[in-house]
């Protein structure tokens, strides 16, 4: 009989943090063109709208930077619960806002939660997941994110027909519901076994591992003891080094891995995917897509559907090829959008609209740009979207994992804020050229991954030191990868009585 609480259900519930993340992303996109929003907040355009949109990212930056310390001190799940409290406070302020200032404050406070959850949920998932399905488990975070975007957008789409301020207040208030559910539910989930080990709670660490890996919570299962032994050895080694984790973030030994985690998250944002999430209405309206609001909703359905293949096959395809191929294909769609706008567009005679460049009288071009937007979104959902969240917590060791991932996610939110703030004025000033800039960022991401990112699929988290310190050059790691059976060999030694673990 299948137990209700297992690695899958625990990870799926933890992925409610992704739902919150998705609500954040879609919390503006579905209402920015409604008369109710425009009239109440004084038709915010350009920089003003950029500040409103970017406030959530700015709060998320602060939350991400604090998540390393909180995640180590309060535990992964304890810090996530703190974040859900901020989320509910922020949702209340947004839904009750009396002006732009209060709206910005509410979005920034909600952002504290997103910074914490977007950092700690993937860490928690990766630390409880078996190595062979770690990619699948962590990809639930992105899958939940796509569902959060979809749900929030359609709530906003439905509320947009209300002839009152409820058109924007109701969607923002509804955001609190998953936050409340997550806060309560986390009390019933186990702590990360690796966090327990780092706090010398060894009996609990072994019990949680047995609970996660066996159907009968057998602490004497050889594979459970083998993984426990790996964690034990890793913790002991890290303590023997007796280094300051903050100082070690930028030590010569680990600098390359920390920078890799940071750059993966940076390229996640600079790819331009969130431009579509936040401002696809502006793009579709500028090229005269019929019923732009409904057409925009299709992108969120695409995100949900196209993220499924990564859940199923990321642990077979590998992280590195998905990132490389995704960057090139995503760049091609962005260049195509920019080229079509350049060739067939013209200046917008109306100065009070959020776009200065329009496509008029070219229905085939309009359809082509719409199709390229959808294809770009599908490409991202099958590549950088989920894999960047899988890869970031994998590449750094336990002793600095929370702090280095918090730094990487802080970089994500810093670039998110930059794009969210800058795109509206840039779209008005340089129009189609912005898509060439974003396409170039994806080419840079390809080059960065090619030279710095080795393959990590199906290796245990404790094996990453060997991959980065004694492994092959990144550009050959995938071609020569033969899998790993070290954990199975260790389990066999334990079963034969050739190896001892900590005496409990």
| Residue 467 near residue 197, CB atoms below 8 Å | no
Cα(270)–Cα(380) distance, rounded to whole angstroms? 12
Query: How large is the average pLDDT for residues 337-350?
Result: 92
pLDDT digits (tens, 9 = 90+) for 215-244: 888 899 999 999 999 999 888 887 776 565
User: Which candidate, 303, 456, 489, places its Cα nearest to that of 383?
Assistant: 303
- In the prediction, which pLDDT does 321 show? 94
Give me the DSSP letters along 159-196. HTTSSSTHHHHHHHHHTHHHHHHHHHHGGGSPPPHHHH
435 CB-side CA count, 13 A: 24
**Tokens 């200065």, located at residue:** 356
Cα(153)–Cα(277) distance, rounded to whole angstroms? 10
Cα(440)–Cα(79) distance, rounded to whole angstroms? 37
User: Which candidate, 353, 387, 219, 203, places its Cα nearest to that of 284?
Assistant: 353
Between helices 319-344 and 384-394, what is the axis angle to 10°? 140
Query: How large is the average pLDDT for residues 4-23?
Result: 93
Q: What is the CA radius of gyration of the chain?
A: 23
| Residue 330 near residue 379, CB atoms below 8 Å | yes
Which tokens go with 186? 């986390």
**Tokens 């309060």, located at residue:** 74
| Residue 29 near residue 159, CB atoms below 8 Å | no
Q: With 50 as the cut, is the pLDDT of residue 362 above it? A: yes
Phi and psi at residue 347, to the nearest 5°: -60, 145
Give me the residues paired with residue 347 across strands: 357
Cα(461)–Cα(390) distance, rounded to whole angstroms? 12
DSSP three-state, residue 358: strand
Beta strands in 303-349 (DSSP E): 346-347
| Residue 144 near residue 128, CB atoms below 8 Å | no
Which tokens go with 120? 């700690």
Q: pLDDT category, 465, cuts 50, 70, 90?
A: confident
Cα(468)–Cα(481) distance, rounded to whole angstroms? 14
Q: pLDDT category, 504, cuts 50, 70, 90?
A: very low
User: Which candidate, 185, 184, 204, 183, places its Cα nearest to that of 193?
Assistant: 204
Residues 6+ apart with CB under 8 A from 457: 135, 314, 315, 316, 317, 318, 319, 481
- The rounded mean pLDDT for the chain is 89
- Domains delineated in the chain: 7-469 (1.20.1250.20)
pLDDT digits (tens, 9 = 90+) for 89-145: 999 999 999 999 999 999 999 999 999 999 999 999 999 999 889 999 999 999 999
Q: pLDDT category, 494, cuts 50, 70, 90?
A: confident
Cα(267)–Cα(324) distance, rounded to whole angstroms? 12
Alpha-carbon distances of 288 from 174, 377, 430, 443, 452, rounded to whole Å: 32, 19, 19, 29, 42
- In the prediction, which pLDDT does 203 show? 95
Q: How many Cβ atoms sit within 10 Å of the Cβ of residue 188?
A: 9
- In the prediction, which pLDDT does 298 show? 92
Give me the residues paired with residue 358 across strands: 346
β-pairing verdict for 357-358 and 346-347: antiparallel
Residues 6+ apart with CB under 8 A from 82: 70, 74, 116
- Which strand (E) or helix (H) includes residue 357? strand 357-358
Cα(346)–Cα(14) distance, rounded to whole angstroms? 47
Q: With 50 as the cut, is the pLDDT of residue 503 above it? A: no
Query: How large is the average pLDDT for residues 230-259?
Result: 80
| Residue 307 near residue 382, CB atoms below 8 Å | yes
pLDDT digits (tens, 9 = 90+) for 157-213: 889 888 899 999 999 999 999 999 999 999 999 999 999 999 999 999 999 999 999
Q: Which residue has the higher pLDDT, 481 or 32?
A: 32
Give me the residues paired with residue 346 across strands: 358
Q: Rounded to the nearest 10 degrees, how much is the dihedral formed by the CA atoms of 467, 469, 474, 479?
A: -40
- In the prediction, which pLDDT does 245 show? 62
Buried b (16+ CB within 10 A) or exposed e, 27-55: bbbbbbbbebbeebbeebbeebbbbbbbb
Q: Vertex 323, ends 341 and 71: CA angle to 5°?
A: 110
- In the prediction, which pLDDT does 443 show? 98
Query: How large is the average pLDDT for residues 320-342?
Result: 96
- In the prediction, which pLDDT does 476 show? 76
Q: pLDDT category, 471, cuts 50, 70, 90?
A: low
Cα(196)–Cα(202) distance, rounded to whole angstroms? 7
Which tokens go with 29? 């996109």
User: Which candidate, 353, 327, 334, 318, places its Cα nearest to that of 428?
Assistant: 353
């Amino acid at each position: 009989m299948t137990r209700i609480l297992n690695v899958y259900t625990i990870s799926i519930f933890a992925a409610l943090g992704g739902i919150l993340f998705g609500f954040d992303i879609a919390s503006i996109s579905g209402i920015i063109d409604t008369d109710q929003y425009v009239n109440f907040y004084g038709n915010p355009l350009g920089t003003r709208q950029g500040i409103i949109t970017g406030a959530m990212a700015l709060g998320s930056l602060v939350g991400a930077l604090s998540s390393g310390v909180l995640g180590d001190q309060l535990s992964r799940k304890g810090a996530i619960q703190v974040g859900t409290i901020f989320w509910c406070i922020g949702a209340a302020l947004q839904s009750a806002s009396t002006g732009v200032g209060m709206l910005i404050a509410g979005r920034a406070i909600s952002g504290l939660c997103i910074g914490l959850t977007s950092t700690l949920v993937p860490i928690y998932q990766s630390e409880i997941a078996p190595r062979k399905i770690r990619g699948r488990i962590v990809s639930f975070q992105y899958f939940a994110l796509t569902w959060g975007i979809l749900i929030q957008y359609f709530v906003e789409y439905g509320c947009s027909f209300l002839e009152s301020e409820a058109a924007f207040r109701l969607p923002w208030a509804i955001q609190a519901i998953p936050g409340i559910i997550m806060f309560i539910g986390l009390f019933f989930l186990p702590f990360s076994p690796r966090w327990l080990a780092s706090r010398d709670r060894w009996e609990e660490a072994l019990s949680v591992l047995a609970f996660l890996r066996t159907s009968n919570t057998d602490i004497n299962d050889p594979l459970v003891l083998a993984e426990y032994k790996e964690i034990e050895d890793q913790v002991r080694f890290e303590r023997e080094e007796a280094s300051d984790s903050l100082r070690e973030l930028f030590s010569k030994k680990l600098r390359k891995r920390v920078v890799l985690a940071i750059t993966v998250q940076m390229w996640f944002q600079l790819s331009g995917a969130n431009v579509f999430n936040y401002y696809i209405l502006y793009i579709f309206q500028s090229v005269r897509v019929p019923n732009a609001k409904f057409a925009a909703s299709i992108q969120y359905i695409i995100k949900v559907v196209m993220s499924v293949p990564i859940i199923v096959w990321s642990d077979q395809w590998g992280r590195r090829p998905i990132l490389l191929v995704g960057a090139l294909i995503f760049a091609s769609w962005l260049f195509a959008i920019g080229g079509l706008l350049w060739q067939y567009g013209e200046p917008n005679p109306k100065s009070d609209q959020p776009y200065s460049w329009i496509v008029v009288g070219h229905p085939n071009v309009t359809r082509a740009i719409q199709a390229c937007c959808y294809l770009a979104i599908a490409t991202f959902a099958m590549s950088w979207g989920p894999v960047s969240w899988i890869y970031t917590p994998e590449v750094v060791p336990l002793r600095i994992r929370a702090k280095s991932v918090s730094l990487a996610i802080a970089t994500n939110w810093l670039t998110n804020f930059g794009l969210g703030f800058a795109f509206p004025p840039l779209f008005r000033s340089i129009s189609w050229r912005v898509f060439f800039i974003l396409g170039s960022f994806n080419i840079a991401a390809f080059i960065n991954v090619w030279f710095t990112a080795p393959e990590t699929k199906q290796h245990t988290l404790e094996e990453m030191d060997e991959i980065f310190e004694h492994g092959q050059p990144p550009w050959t790691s995938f071609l020569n990868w033969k899998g790993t059976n070290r954990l199975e060999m260790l389990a066999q030694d334990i079963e034969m009585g050739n190896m001892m673990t900590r005496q409990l």
